[in-house]
Amino acid sequence: MLRKIRIAFATVCFASITLLFLDFTGTVHEWLGWLAKVQFLPALLATNFIVVGVLLVLTLIFGRVYCSVICPLGVMQDLFGAAGRRSKKNRYGYSPALSWLRYGMLVLFVASMAAGAGLVIHKLALIIAPYSAFGRIVSNLLAPLWQLGNNFLAYVAARIDSYAFYSVDVWIKSWATFATAVVTLVVIGILAWRNGRTWCNTVCPVGTVLGFFARFSLFRPVIDTSKCNSCGLCARNCKAACIDPKAHEIDYSRCVACMDCIDKCRHGAISYKRREIKRSAKAAAEPLPQQKAVATSVRPIAATDTPQHAASVQPNAEKGISRRKFLSITAMLAATAAAKAQEKKVDGGLAVIVDKKIPERQTRIVPAGAGSIRHFAAHCTGCQLCVSVCPNGVLRPSSGIEAFMQPEMSYERGYCRPECTKCSEVCPAGAIVRIGAAEKSSMQIGRAVWIKENCIPLTDGVECGNCARHCPSGAITMIPSDPSDDGSPKVPMVNTERCIGCGACENLCPARPFSAIYVEGNENHRTV
């Protein structure tokens, strides 16, 4: 029963988070956006201590249910594991904890996160961050398929005069990030296929941290030695390899509370129950929920958590889950209605349009709300959620070593429309802090630079001014190129004090493949 509940919750969470990365319309985020924000590492980076606190308390009460339900990478491994188990039953077995590896990885991770965003080691840290790894896999590998499916629907819709679906551009935004996602998927997939949660119990820093707290969890599976015949079936089905059947012991730091063992035991010897507190006389004096502990063979561990504390949080956690479930289901229904359009190829009588190329920017551009490149780099986990949701084709993961996998902006496909604040709405890690449209439209994230050699009035001898016409902040004025001749071709003059770096000028500039006006990023964003 507990296993079924776990699977039900995990399915809803997993599907919802996956949908977050697939939905390019931004509608799902209204309902499910919080699921990204309750992820441990992003919440920690966003200094969202309420979420971090709740997750820790949740672990202290129920064990590592986070890893079994909330973490999408964990659930994904269960999917691979389930496929693996199908080919061979009872394939797992107990193995002692590789504590040196786990804590070594954790220390390395913390050190590299602290070391500074510019270092290569920081990128390695981002690669193993679980939620972000999952985000990259979905947004790079699954989202294109989803979009192609959508485009097919849009194609059909266009033929029946329906506007329910619109087609979107499907493109690989960064090959380096794409490759990283593939490698991550293959490595984690093979590990999960063969050995279940190896990744979670050796590499994953979040798993290690939560494992530390899970040792002291209030509820846990326990083996009733009076019923156990030491058949070892539980251990051979434990994906965390944490049940030692000979010693009748479970390593709770590795147990992800999947409840598989409870159902597997033919003798009902394993049950999920309250920990028996032996050593703390003080705790025993407190009023406790009435529950009789039968198990005796559990190795007692010092209780640092007071039951009072646990009891005060528990109702909240329960409430949270039921609401979450409700919202998830509603949002899944709503998401099916979301949709977009389609490009019709017209041939004959049309001038060839050369694709724009990305100009070499000295400073990269990061979205309004990031504050500064430094803040952005330190907080972003490279989960690609903002990239998936950007409706203008502006955000894409960087392939450069300096900001590997972290998003950056470029304007060949569209520009950062002033009314759109989607990326700031979805960012779970506080890298892009929520920003309003009004605030954004006065936030300078970069400034336009004119390249005289490419400017159409000078090269083609025709009137233009498309940049000035489309500048949302009115920062561009067309002035005669020759100061002594008012009739000379007019060229743009950028008032840097008004430019916000949205890239409308760069995107709509008729000069190709390189625009005659492009945006240089700002190290620090500022209000103009």
Binding site for other proteins (CB under 8 A): 158, 163, 166-167, 340-346, 349-353, 414, 417-419, 456, 460, 462-466, 469-470, 508, 510
158 burial level (CB within 10 Å; 0-12, 13-18, 19+): middle
Q: Which residue has the tokens 């190329």?
A: 357
Q: How far is the CB of 479 from other proteins (least distance, A)?
A: 16
Q: How far is the CB of 491 from other proteins (least distance, A)?
A: 13
For residues 224 and 298, the answer to whether their CB atoms sit within 8 Å is no
For residues 456 and 428, the answer to whether their CB atoms sit within 8 Å is no
For residues 384 and 135, the answer to whether their CB atoms sit within 8 Å is yes
Q: How far is the CB of 165 from other proteins (least distance, A)?
A: 8
For residues 169 and 128, the answer to whether their CB atoms sit within 8 Å is no
The number of residues in the chain equals: 528
Q: How far is the CB of 342 from other proteins (least distance, A)?
A: 5
Q: How far is the CB of 422 from other proteins (least distance, A)?
A: 13
Looking at the Cβ atoms of 300 and 474, the one nearer to other proteins is 474
Q: How far is the CB of 398 from other proteins (least distance, A)?
A: 24
Looking at the Cβ atoms of 40 and 165, the one nearer to other proteins is 165
In degrees, to the nearest 5, what angle opens at C-alpha 471 toward C-alphas 470 and 472?
A: 105
For residues 466 and 405, the answer to whether their CB atoms sit within 8 Å is no
| 402, two tokens | 């300096």
Name the 3-class secondary structure at 57: helix
Looking at the Cβ atoms of 113 and 157, the one nearer to other proteins is 157
Looking at the Cβ atoms of 26 and 418, the one nearer to other proteins is 418
Looking at the Cβ atoms of 35 and 456, the one nearer to other proteins is 456
Q: Compute the distance between CA of residue 393 and CA of residue 519 in angstroms, rounded to an integer.
A: 16
Looking at the Cβ atoms of 74 and 457, the one nearer to other proteins is 457
Looking at the Cβ atoms of 109 and 166, the one nearer to other proteins is 166
Q: How far is the CB of 351 from other proteins (least distance, A)?
A: 5
Looking at the Cβ atoms of 169 and 286, the one nearer to other proteins is 169
For residues 288 and 307, the answer to whether their CB atoms sit within 8 Å is yes
Looking at the Cβ atoms of 93 and 472, the one nearer to other proteins is 472
Q: How far is the CB of 24 from other proteins (least distance, A)?
A: 14
Beta strands in 321-413 (DSSP E): 395-397, 407-409
Nearest to 454 by CA among 439, 464, 444: 464
Q: How far is the CB of 345 from other proteins (least distance, A)?
A: 7
Name the 3-class secondary structure at 45: helix
Q: Compute the distance between CA of residue 143 and CA of residue 168 in angstroms, rounded to an integer.
A: 11
| Ordered alpha helix ranges (H), 265-402 | 281-285, 307-335, 373-379, 385-389
Q: Compute the distance between CA of residue 6 and CA of residue 19 in angstroms, rounded to an integer.
A: 20
